[in-house]
């Protein structure tokens, strides 16, 4: 059983276990031992972070633990999570770490590890690190501790990597873009990248102060970006989350383009270009039935994985797919990067618009989405309510009411003590008639 690692690393409220300086130091020692015990050379690990105030504290403590265990540490400062995945490979590091709680508020933070190949650590390695936390190895001799180095050109390296994903000499001159950086890790990289490619850039929420990351901005508050597109007559709006591994877009009419529609656009464009692997894409249980039907009409298969980009990636590798993602905006484009990458996704959208000479509003415009709503039940602590026989019975009764004209997905959040209830139906009234009483009944039983 996992005690510290969730579906996306270790995460929690700062100064509460496990997100304390003491735990970060211990975790650094344990990770330093597990990740390097079979290496024959002096090991290197790269650490990036987003713009949270606590990033300084966690970075210092983790760095102390890693160097105490004999690892050299490469510090790259505030930078998107996908940049850490790329730079870990590019700089030939033995592992990478991102300090971020993604779209969570500033009071949270997280520690996410990457292997040398830029993919997230396997479950077995994370479990080995957890085991080592309880039985730390001896420290190396005094002169065998590691050093810490700052990498000053990390952001520039990442920008060049992103531009390298496009056809040579492709530019986006004349395209007006609103970019909401969520006061997060891409506050500098995102507008610089778009300007260098010729876009007219309208910046939003790119002044982080340690406290304002994700605060009523970014991919979880896309309405600000949507309104700015309408006000400025922009061609496209892009909203990132705090660590820039997810993207929510809107078209020139200010209409939302969520992850499902992005999947449809990118899959169809890749199919047209002859670069779609496996004739399929991977999404999750949350993806809309309308997307599934849209893809099927184009002879494309949609595989559904469990919710979480970790599970999407596992199925992509299993099925030989190069495009996968989540409705929430995590897009994994394996031809380009090993993890979700909001800016890479943005470039591929702009590339599709440019090559097809179409505005975003005209792309996948005939995809009809089923009405879908997500309800959240907040609990005082995480517990396995899905094993409760009464909860199972309530879900079964609700599914029977749909009579095959929709879906219900009930799951625990991977990062918070929340039960998420998604109901999708052929029409909105049926969706609400099923979802509202189901949520009320489950809430009354478990809270």
pLDDT band, residue 405 (cuts 50/70/90): confident
Phi-psi region of 218 (alpha: psi -120 to 50; beta: other; left: phi over 0): left
**Cβ count within 10 A of residue 274:** 6
Selection from 408, 400, 397, 413 nearest residue 431 by Cα: 408
pLDDT tens per residue, range 313-364: 999 999 999 999 999 999 999 999 999 999 999 999 999 999 999 999 999 9
**Cβ count within 10 A of residue 390:** 12
Q: What top-level class would CATH report for the domain 5-153? A: alpha beta
Task: Specify whether the CB–CB gap between 442 and 375 falls below 8 A.
Answer: no
| Coil, helix or strand at residue 85 | helix
211's tokens: 């406290």
pLDDT band, residue 216 (cuts 50/70/90): very high
Task: Specify whether the CB–CB gap between 204 and 307 falls below 8 A.
Answer: no
pLDDT band, residue 39 (cuts 50/70/90): confident
Q: Are strands 418-425 and 256-257 parallel, antiparallel or unpaired?
A: unpaired
pLDDT tens per residue, range 172-213: 999 999 999 999 999 999 999 999 999 999 999 999 999 999
215's tokens: 């605060």
125's tokens: 């390695």
Q: Are strands 176-180 and 148-150 parallel, antiparallel or unpaired?
A: unpaired
Q: Are strands 256-257 and 108-115 parallel, antiparallel or unpaired?
A: unpaired
Task: Specify whether the CB–CB gap between 288 and 372 falls below 8 A.
Answer: yes
165's tokens: 């994903």
| DSSP string computed for 328-353 | TSBEEETTT-SS--HHHHHHHHHHHH
Q: Does domain 176-255 have CATH number 3.40.120.10?
A: yes
**Cβ count within 10 A of residue 322:** 19
Q: Tell me the whole-structure pTM to 2 decimals.
A: 0.91
| Coil, helix or strand at residue 61 | helix
Query: Can you tell me the distance from the alpha carbon of 348 to that of 252, in angstroms, rounded to the nearest whole number?
Result: 17
Q: Are strands 44-49 and 95-99 parallel, antiparallel or unpaired?
A: parallel
Mean pLDDT across the chain, nearest whole number?
A: 95
Angle between helical axes of 189-196 and 342-356 (0-180°, round to 10): 20
Lateral strand order in the sheet of 301-305:
301-305, 280-284, 323-325, 331-333
301's tokens: 């298969």
| DSSP string computed for 188-256 | THHHHHHHHTT-EEEEES----SS-TTTT-GGG-THHHHHHHHHHT-SEEEEE-TTSSBEEEEETTS-E
Task: Specify whether the CB–CB gap between 371 and 427 falls below 8 A.
Answer: yes
Q: What angle do CA 67, 73, 77 make, to 5 degrees?
A: 130
Q: Are strands 72-78 and 95-99 parallel, antiparallel or unpaired?
A: unpaired
**For residue 349, what pLDDT is reported?**
98
Task: Specify whether the CB–CB gap between 359 and 407 falls below 8 A.
Answer: no
% residues pLDDT > 70 (the chain): 100
Task: Specify whether the CB–CB gap between 80 and 185 falls below 8 A.
Answer: yes
Instruction: Supply the residues annotated as catalytic.
Output: 102
User: What size, in residues, is the chain?
Assistant: 447
Q: Would the pLDDT of 75 be above 70?
A: yes
145's tokens: 């501790």
185's tokens: 């890790």
CATH tag, 258-369? 3.40.120.10
Query: Can you tell me the distance from the alpha carbon of 264 to that of 279, in angstroms, rounded to the nearest whole number?
Result: 13
Domain ranges of the chain: 5-153, 176-255, 258-369, 372-446
pLDDT band, residue 1 (cuts 50/70/90): low
* CATH of 372-446 among 3.10.105.10, 3.30.310.50, 3.40.50.2300, 1.10.1130.10: 3.30.310.50
| Coil, helix or strand at residue 323 | strand
pLDDT band, residue 384 (cuts 50/70/90): confident
Helices assigned H by DSSP within 71-148: 81-90, 123-133
CA atoms within 13 A on the CB side of 58: 33
**For residue 301, what pLDDT is reported?**
97
Task: Specify whether the CB–CB gap between 83 and 74 falls below 8 A.
Answer: no
- CA distances for 246 relative to 92, 112, 140, 343, angstroms: 25, 16, 40, 8
Does this chain's domain 5-153 share its CATH topology with 258-369? yes
């Amino acid at each position: 059983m996992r005690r510290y690692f969730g579906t996306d690393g270790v995460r929690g409220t700062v100064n509460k276990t496990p997100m304390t300086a003491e735990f970060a130091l211990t975790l650094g020692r344990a990770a330093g031992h597990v990740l390097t015990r079979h290496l024959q050379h002096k090991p290197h690990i790269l650490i990036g972070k987003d713009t949270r105030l606590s990033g300084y504290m966690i970075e210092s403590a983790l760095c102390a633990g890693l160097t105490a265990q004999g690892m050299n540490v490469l510090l790259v400062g505030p930078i998107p999570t996908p940049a850490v995945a790329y730079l870990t490979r590019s700089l030939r590091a033995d592992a990478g770490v991102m300090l971020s709680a993604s779209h969570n508020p500033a009071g949270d933070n997280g520690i996410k590890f990457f292997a040398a190949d830029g993919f997230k650590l396997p479950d077995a390695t994370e479990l080995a690190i957890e085991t080592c936390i309880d039985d730390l190895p001896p420290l190396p001799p005094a002169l065998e501790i590691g050093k810490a180095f700052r990498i000053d050109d990390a952001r520039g390296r990442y920008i060049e990597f992103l531009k390298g994903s496009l056809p040579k000499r492709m530019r986006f001159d004349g395209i007006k873009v609103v970019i909401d950086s969520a006061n997060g890790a891409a506050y500098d990289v995102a507008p610089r990248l778009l300007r260098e490619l010729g876009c007219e850039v309208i910046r939003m929420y790119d002044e982080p102060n340690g406290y304002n990351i994700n605060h009523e901005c970014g991919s979880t508050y896309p309405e600000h970006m949507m309104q700015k597109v309408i006000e400025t007559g922009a061609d496209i709006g892009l909203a990132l989350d705090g660590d820039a591994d997810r993207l929510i877009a809107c078209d020139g009419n200010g209409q939302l383009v969520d992850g499902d529609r992005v999947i449809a656009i990118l899959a169809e464009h890749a199919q047209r270009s002859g670069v779609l692997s496996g004739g399929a894409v991977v999404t999750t249980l949350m993806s809309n039935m309308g997307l599934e039907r849209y893809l099927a009409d184009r002879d494309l298969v949609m595989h559904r994985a469990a919710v979480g980009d970790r599970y999407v990636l596992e199925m992509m590798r299993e099925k030989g797919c190069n495009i996968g993602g989540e409705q929430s905006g995590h897009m994994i484009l394996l031809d380009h990067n090993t993890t979700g990458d909001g800016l890479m996704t943005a470039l591929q959208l702009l590339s599709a618009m440019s090559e097809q000479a179409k505005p975003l509003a005209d792309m996948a415009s005939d995809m009809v989405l089923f009405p879908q709503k997500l309800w959240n039940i907040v609990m005082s602590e995480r517990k396995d309510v899905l094993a409760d026989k009464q909860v199972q019975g309530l879900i079964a009764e609700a599914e029977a009411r749909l009579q095959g004209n929709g879906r219900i997905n009930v799951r625990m959040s991977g990062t918070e003590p929340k039960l998420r209830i998604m109901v999708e139906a052929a029409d909105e009234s049926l969706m609400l008639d099923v979802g509202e009483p189901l949520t009320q009944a489950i809430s009354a039983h478990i809270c």
